[in-house]
Amino acid sequence: MGAQLTLLSRSEPTLESDSRVALSIRESLRARQLIIQVLPPRTVEVVVPKGMRPGTVESFVNEHRDWICRAGRELVETYPEPDLRPTSIELAAIGATVAVRYLPSANGRTRLVFESDILTLHCADPELTDAPRLLRRWLLAQGRAWLKPRLMRAGAAIGLVPTGVQLRLQKTRWGSCSSTGTISLNAALLLVAPELVRYLFVHELCHLRHLSHSRRYWALVARHEPDFRRLDRRLADCWKQMPTWLRVGSSGAC
């Protein structure tokens, strides 16, 4: 039985290749052509170049309808039971495991309490549906506390220091570097191995000297991390291991 898709507009993501899978239409200044990407656990995203006509987008989606529906079915098969309220979170980057407790808020307001490696979420919704959002808020705060100072120390050690550091939660990028020297890091780096975090630091810091992925850029990366190819592949594979509560949220900056 074939799944069906409904396309509304570029600015309003919608479903439906299976009521459990979202078809998201996202406009991007960076995109040069229409691209389809699969974002676990439950989203198939069409990236649209800025200013493209809605009719062109709709024709593209219709042309690739079968592929999108098949990708949606594979997502449901691969991620059958989304875990939106984990009982523990492993911060592999810093070698810590945090226990998580969930309580309905007594006054209807959300609150986070983090003490002695125990994170308590006081959720405004008695059904705890706001738990993933609160977990992401907490992870962003941890990213500011842990990743930013470590990036600055790594930069000082190799003589490449950014002008600023931002923390985000993104679905497809571990980090980025702007032409003004600001490095953005994905707070989800806290969930990956320390050597991968260090490699990502080197990767972005080297962009301070070479913004493109040129031969000179990779030569600079190799100087500071000779095993960069293997680490780059491992880091790319980590997207498949990210927890559901992290991936269901929208991208955000802090």
**Same structural domain, 142 and 228:** yes
Residue 126: the pLDDT is 81
Q: Which residue range forms the structural domain that includes residue 58?
A: 14-78
**Same structural domain, 143 and 245:** yes
* CATH code at position 182: 3.30.2010.10
How far, in Å, CA of 68 to CA of 119, rounded? Answer: 38
Write the burial class of residue 105 (CB in 10 Å: 0-12 exposed, 13-18 middle, 19+ buried).
middle
Question: Domain count of the chain?
Answer: 2
Residue 172: the pLDDT is 79
- Last-in-domain residue among 45, 62, 78: 78
**Do the domain assignments include residue 111?**
no
Residue 96: the pLDDT is 95
* Non-local CB neighbours of 223 within 8 Å, separated by 6+ positions: none
Residue 13: the pLDDT is 39
**Same structural domain, 61 and 151:** no
- Last-in-domain residue among 28, 48, 78: 78
Residue 250: the pLDDT is 45
Residue 18: the pLDDT is 52
Residue 82: the pLDDT is 61
- Last-in-domain residue among 63, 78, 93: 78
How far, in Å, CA of 132 to CA of 119, rounded? Answer: 13
**Same structural domain, 147 and 221:** yes
* Non-local CB neighbours of 26 within 8 Å, separated by 6+ positions: 10, 13, 45, 46, 47, 48
> Could you list the pLDDT tens digit for every one of the 254 residues in the chain?
233 344 433 333 334 445 677 888 888 888 899 999 988 777 888 999 999 999 999 999 999 999 998 888 888 887 655 678 899 999 999 999 999 999 988 888 899 999 989 999 999 888 888 899 999 999 999 999 999 999 999 999 999 999 999 999 987 799 999 999 999 999 999 999 999 999 999 999 999 999 999 999 999 999 999 999 999 999 999 987 888 888 765 444 43
What is the torsional sign of CA 96, 147, 130, 109?
positive
Residue 14: the pLDDT is 39
**Same structural domain, 170 and 240:** yes
**Same structural domain, 228 and 152:** yes
| 3-state DSSP assignment of residue 31 | coil
What is the torsional sign of CA 46, 48, 54, 59?
negative
**Same structural domain, 70 and 149:** no
**Same structural domain, 148 and 71:** no
**Same structural domain, 74 and 141:** no
Q: What are the Cα distances from residue 223, in Å, to 74, 94, 170, 228? A: 40, 25, 28, 10
Beta strands in the chain (DSSP E): 14-15, 22-28, 35-39, 43-49, 88-91, 96-104, 111-115, 118-123, 164-169, 175-177, 182-186, 252-253
